[in-house]
Structure 1
Amino acid sequence: MTQRQRSTLRASVPRPAQSTVLLLGTLLAVESVLVGTYLLATDAAVLSLRYLLYPFVWINLAVLAVRAVDVPVPADRRSVGAAVVAAGYLLVLAWTSGLVGAGSGGALSFRIAPAMPGWGPVLLVGGPVSIALIPFETVGYVALAILVYVGVGRAAAGVLSGLVGLVTCVSCVGPVLAAVVSGLLGGASTAAAGGASATILGVTTGAYAYDLSTGLFVLTVAALWATLR
């Protein structure tokens, strides 16, 4: 490769804005402090480095992706329709991943389960519905729903047609499939229950459930971002 080709290649690769780099650095610094403080204040043990890092991959990527797109306020028929589609998509993700499920039918109850930052603290709600809001999955799925909202709003012409675009549609299925597989191999509910123990860090799930989920999440955000930028 010649010097001219290398210069052209460097010029073609987009460089992140300084504000983006600063935001990512701030997120990483805060997350490092939170993890360090939690490890010092509890008897938690890091049993798997990748499970320690995965939540922050989700959270950081979600924050950066949403920040990088223009998210309009629902103000007309098209944008309201897009918001309904995005809300339905979020509900499917939450249900298939185990964040939201059928309740026991008993009295409404709330509990906070401590866990490693990113995995916790987990908000557990029982009663008519069962809710286990794991921070990184909640943030990640909300971000995906926002990106889908923007994508559907741009794809719809006049009256909402429901057409998102081939890349967006295919990529959006990934997290749903990953959530189903994650549920079959262990599930978010199991991870939330395990998170109440100070020594458990995601190891209550299947061996590769969150590897698959994280990989598909990253690919989905990348595909959505590529169509929206």
Structure 2
Amino acid sequence: MSARTLSLSAGPVAVSVSRRELQVATLVVNVELLAVLAYFALTNASLSSPLFTLYGLLWVNLALVVFARYRPAAAGRRTRRRALAVVAGYLALLAVLGGVVGVAPPRTTPGVELALLPPGWGPALVVNVGVAAAVLMPAKVLGYLALAYLLYGALVDAAGAGIAGVLGLFSCVSCSLPLLAGAVAAIAGGGGFVASAAAGLGYGPSTLVFAVTVALLWWRPGIDLFG
């Protein structure tokens, strides 16, 4: 093991972290802590539920880890197009079920505003066009994009393994669970409009499912049996 690299292993999963990555991670965590302190110092909000704030930061940090470390396999143009088409539908489903986009609440005025939610969940951009509305919370936006990115990699890998690999992806419980778990996470999170987000209803279970989904989509235990 290099002095500049820390290697951790748990069964078949091995993770190597460079000193630079540790430094960046430490910087990110410190910035987040400062943001939390500043939010509660400069607003009238009270820290009534510390876990709600922690959940949002967990979503953000897991997503950042995915974007920083996960790299899908190379694939041909046809495979990429098909994978992207599936991912687009999956992402749209998560956005609707997770309350990122939906029907605008009654008697609301169309417009754009910034909701000052705790770091992770906020600041959230609220866009109301009259009929439909979107609440773009950093945790949900980054989290769902991370799931879509991991699903893209899973589809590319399955296509590279041929028909057996594709069948394995959707028949093996440990591989197909993330496709269901993503929707379950969205439903458990419940309506994503500002009032529900501020209450933090259901975000504990949805955070757990999100973390498990990330792990299964990343490592996909069992898919190699079908390659």
| TM-score, length of structure 1 as denominator length | 0.78
Deviation at 1:32, TM superposition (A): 0.8
1:198 alignment counterpart: none
Q: Is the 8 A contact 1:77 1:159 kept in 2?
A: no
Higher strand share: 2
CA distance in 2, matches of 1:70, 1:138: 20
Matches within 5 A, 1:189-204: 189=193, 192-193=194-195, 202=198, 204=199
CA distance in 2, matches of 1:79, 1:55: 31
**Structure 1 letter corresponding to 2:82:** G
CA distance in 2, matches of 1:137, 1:35: 18
| TM-score, length of structure 2 as denominator length | 0.78
1:11 to 1:103, Cα distance in 2 relative to 1, 3 A:
closer
**Structure 1 letter corresponding to 2:24:** L
CA distance in 1, matches of 2:8, 2:101: 46
Gaps of 5+ in 2: 1-6, 222-227
2:22 alignment counterpart: 21
Deviation at 1:72, TM superposition (A): 6.4
Deviation at 1:113, TM superposition (A): 1.3
RMSD of aligned alpha carbons = 2.9
1:182 alignment counterpart: 189
1:4 alignment counterpart: none
1:137 paired to 2:140: yes
1:11 to 1:50, Cα distance in 2 relative to 1, 3 A:
closer
Identity of aligned residues (%): 29
1:119 alignment counterpart: 121
CA distance in 1, matches of 2:115, 2:8: 48
Gaps of 5+ in 1: 1-9, 196-201
2:35 alignment counterpart: 34
Matches within 5 A, 1:140-159: 140-157=143-160
Instruction: Give the structure, 1 or 2, with the largest relative contact order (CA under 8 Å, sep 6 or more).
Output: 1
CA distance in 1, matches of 2:44, 2:132: 32
**Structure 2 letter corresponding to 1:188:** G
Which 4+ stretches in 1 moved above 3 angstroms?
10-16, 71-75, 103-108, 157-165
From 202, 206, 210, give the equivalent of 1:217: 210
Q: How many residues align?
A: 205
